[in-house]
Chains A and B, each alone.
Chain A
Amino acid sequence: MSTVTTADHHDEHHDHKPTGIKRWLFTTNHKDIGSLYLIFALAMFFLGGAMAMVIRLELFQPGLQFVDPQFFNQMTTMHGLIMVFGAVMPAFTGLANWMIPMMIGAPDMALPRMNNWSFWILPFAFLILIISMFLPGGGPDFGWTFYAPLSTTYSNDSTALFVFAVHIMGISSIMGAINVIVTIVNMRAPGMTWMKLPLFVWTWLITAFLLIMVMPVLAGVVTMVLTDKYFATSFFDAAGGGDPVLFQHIFWFFGHPEVYIMILPAFGIVSAIVPTFARKKLFGYASMVYATASIAILSFLVWAHHMFTTGMPVFATLFFMYTTMLIAVPTGVKVFNWVATMWRGAMTFEVPMMFALAFIVLFTIGGLSGVMLAITPADFQYHDTYFVVAHFHYVLVSGAVFSIVAAVYYWLPKWTGHMYDEKLGQLHFWCSLISVNLLFFPMHFVGLAGMPRRIPDYALQFADFNAFVSVGGFLFGLSQLIFLWVVIKCARGGEKAPAKPWEGAEGLEWEVPSPAPYHTFDTPPQVK
C-alpha cells in the first residue's frame, strides 16, 4: 500500500493524497469518508425509490397487474430496509463525518481507520441483501420488521442472507457511533465547551448513544430469528415454549429508538439552518439540548405502542399511551423554538431554508398523526392501515429526507467550493413539496377508511385516491432527478463560493475556505 494515510502523518503536504480508486478504498480522511457515505446513501435512495415506484405502479389500479404478490412483498420489505439502513442512516453518518470535526475544530475523526472500515463494510451488506432477491425463492418478503413467525417458520432461505446483512449494517453503525462519541468527547477545540457545541453535534452525540444502546439488541433479535429457523431454538415458537409476541417486544425495543436515530440529527440540521436564514441566534439553545435528551430517554419507554392490538392488559396500554404522548412535549418545545427563532428575523428563502421550513410544517403533521396513533382505542382502527404509512412517511420523507436535502444544499458550497444552481434548487423544492403531499396526504384518508398496508390489491372504493397517490409518487421520484442534477452540476463547477456563503451563518465550518481543504484545523482554533 503506497497510501501513507494522512491522518497519522500530518505535515506540510496539505493536499497530499493518493489518487484513483486507492484514495477512496484506503482513505482515512473524514471528508472523503463523509463523501463516500453521502454518495452511497444517494445511490441507495434511488434504489429504494425505484422499489417504491414498483409498489405505486402495482397500486395504481385495484387488481393485480404488474407484479405477483410475493414480489410485491419483497418490494415493500426491501424498500423499507434500504431506505432505513441504506439511505437515511448512512446519509446522517456522512453528514456527521463531514461536519462534526469541522464544527468542533478537530483535525479529523478520532478513529480514522475504523472510520474507513465502518463505511466499506456497508456496500457489502447491501450487496448481500440485494443478491438474495435473485436467488431461488426470492429475497426477504416478511416486511422490514421481520415479525416471527413470518421470518422463521414461513420464510425461505434468503433469511440467512438477510440476517447476515443486518449484522454487518449493525456493526457498521455501532463503529460509526463509537467514532462520533469519541470524537465529540475528546477532540473538541480548546474553549469549545459542552453548551457551545452546535446543535447538530449535540443531536448526533445523543443519536450515537441511541445507536450503541439499540443496534446490539437488533443484532440479538436477528440472531434469535436465525437460530429459531436453522438451529432448533424456540425463542419465538410456541411449540417449544417460546412466544411470537416476544419477538415484537424485542424488535420494538430496538425499533422505537431507531426512529429517533433517524430524526434527531434532522433536528440538529434544522437548528443550524433556521438561525442562518432568519439571521438571529437560535431561540432556546439549552432547551433544545434538554429536549433532545428527553426524547432520547423517552424513546426507551414507548416501544409497545406498536403493539396495542396484541392483547396487552389495559394498564400496559395506558402506560405506553401516556409515555408516547409525553414525547410530544419536548418535540413541541423544538418546533416552538424554531418558530420563535424566525419571529422578527430578517428572513430570506434560499433552498436550504425552504426545505427546513417544509420540514417544520410537514414533520409537525407527521407528529400529530403520531399522537393520533398513540391513542390506544383509536389505534385499533388505524393499526396496519395506510394511516400508519402516511404517518411514518410524513416524518421520514418530508422529515428526515427533507432535512438531509436541506443539509446538502446548505453545506454543498463548503464541500465543492461552488454555489449550487439556485433556480434549479427552487424548482426541485417546489416539485418535491407538491408531489410529496400528493403522495402521502391521501394515504391518511384511505387508511382511515380501512385500506390495509402491505397488500398488493385493494377494495374498489380506494381506486381514485390510490391513482392520485401513485401519480404523486411518480412525480416525487422524478423530482429527485432534479436534485441529482443540481448536485452533479455543483460538484463540476459554478459560481465560486466564499468561505461563508450564507450571511447569517455561524460556526467554525465557515471559517475555513470553500471548498474545505483536505485537512482542516491541524492546529486547533481558539473558541471564545
Chain B
Amino acid sequence: MNAKHSTLIGKLSLLVVAMFAFGYALVPLYDVFCDITGINGKTASEPVSAEAAIIDTSREITIEFIARPNQQMPWIFRPEVRRMRVHPGEIHIMNYLAENPTGRAIVGQAVPSVSPGQAALFFHKIECFCFTQQYLAGGNDMLMPLQFYVDPALPAQFSTITLSYTLYDVTSQWQDSGQDTATEFGE
C-alpha cells in the first residue's frame, strides 16, 4: 500500500471517528439548544428567585395541571385542582398529592413538560418538588408543593398553558447514590 493511500485513509478514518463522536455530541447539543430556546416544553430545572415583576392585572392566563405516574410507577399522583386562572406576575402555590399504596418505599422523580412549548420560557418555578427526587415510605402519602408565576412578558397569543408532570420510579438510582433518605424527606 503506497503512502498516498495511507494519508488519505488516515484522513478518512479520522472523519469516521469524528462523525461517531458527533453523534454523541448531539445529545448535549440538543439539551443546550432546548434550554436556550425553551422548545420541546422543557422548563428550567433550577428555581428562579421570587422577585417577581409587576402584576399584570389586565389579563388572566389559564393554567392547566396534568399529572400522571409512568406505567412502572405505582404511586397515585394528582394535582389538587385541575386548572386555575392567574394574572401574569402573581405568585401561586399549587399542591400535588402523592400516595404510595404499595408496602415498600419508593423514590419518585417528576419530569415537567409545558405546552405550548414556546411558553415554557415564561413559566417560572420558584420552588418545585420536581427539582429533587421524592422519597415516600410504603402506605404513606404527602403533599408536594409547586410555587410558580407566569412571566408578564408572556406573548399575548398564549391564553392557556398546560403543565404536565410525569412521575417516574427512580428507586434504583436513589439507592445507587447512597444517601440517607428517610430523615431528609419525612412523611
Contacts and interface: CB of A to CB of B under 8 A. Distances in A.
Contact of B15 (A213, A219, A235): A213
A168 to B, nearest CB: 15
A240 interface: yes
A163 B86 CA distance: 50
A224 B30 CA distance: 15
Interface in A221-276: 221, 224, 235, 238-241, 243, 245-246, 249-250, 253-254
Interface of B is mostly: helix
Interface in A400-457: none
Contacts of B40: 243, 245, 311
B23 to A, nearest CB: 3
Nearest to B4: A186
Contacts of A182: 5, 8-9, 12
A224 B20 CA distance: 12
Nearest to B37: A313
A212 B8 contact: no
A219 B19 CA distance: 10
B143 interface: no
A223 B8 CA distance: 27
A220 B15 contact: no
B187 to A, nearest CB: 23
A186 B170 contact: no
Nearest to B13: A178
A246 B28 CA distance: 10
A212 B9 contact: no
Nearest to B20: A216
B74 interface: no
A239 B168 contact: yes
A28 to B, nearest CB: 12
Nearest to A183: B5
B37 A178 contact: no
Contacts of A44: none
Contacts of B39: 312-313, 316
A216 B1 contact: no
Contact of B109 (A213, A239, A313): A239
B111 A238 contact: yes
Nearest to A242: B27
Interface of A is mostly: helix
Contact of A313 (B24, B117, B168, B169): B117
A174 B34 CA distance: 32
B5 A110 contact: yes
B118 interface: yes
Given A311-B117, A313-B37, A249 B26 contact: yes
Contacts of A238: 111, 166, 168
A467 interface: no
Interface string B64-92: 00000010000000000000000000000
A245 B117 CA distance: 14
| Interface range on chain B (Cβ under 8 Å from partner) | 20 to 34
B22 A217 contact: yes
Contacts of B5: 110-111, 182, 186
A276 to B, nearest CB: 32
Contacts of A213: 15, 19
A160 interface: no
A396 interface: no
Nearest to A171: B16
B173 interface: yes
Contacts of A249: 26, 30
A217 B19 contact: yes
Interface string A289-329: 00000000000000000000001110010000000000000
A214 interface: yes
B54 interface: no
B14 to A, nearest CB: 10
A313 B118 contact: yes
B153 interface: no
A245 B118 CA distance: 16
A191 B83 CA distance: 76
A111 B166 contact: no
B156 interface: no
A221 B16 contact: no
A459 interface: no
Interface string A95-132: 00000000000000011000000000000000000000
A75 interface: no
Contacts of B109: 239
A221 B17 CA distance: 14
A18 to B, nearest CB: 22
A186 B1 CA distance: 12
Nearest to B16: A216
Contacts of A219: 20, 23
Interface string A146-184: 000000000000000000000000000010001001100
Given A186-B4, A239-B111, A312-B39, 9 more contacts: A111-B5, A178-B16, A217-B22, A219-B20, A224-B27, A238-B111, A250-B26, A250-B27, A254-B23
23 contacts: A111-B9, A174-B16, A182-B5, A182-B12, A185-B8, A212-B12, A216-B16, A219-B20, A220-B22, A238-B166, A239-B109, A240-B168, A241-B111, A245-B40, A246-B26, A246-B27, A246-B30, A250-B27, A254-B23, A311-B40, A313-B37, A313-B39, A316-B39
Interface of A: 110-111, 174, 178, 181-182, 185-186, 212-221, 224, 235, 238-241, 243, 245-246, 249-250, 253-254, 311-313, 316
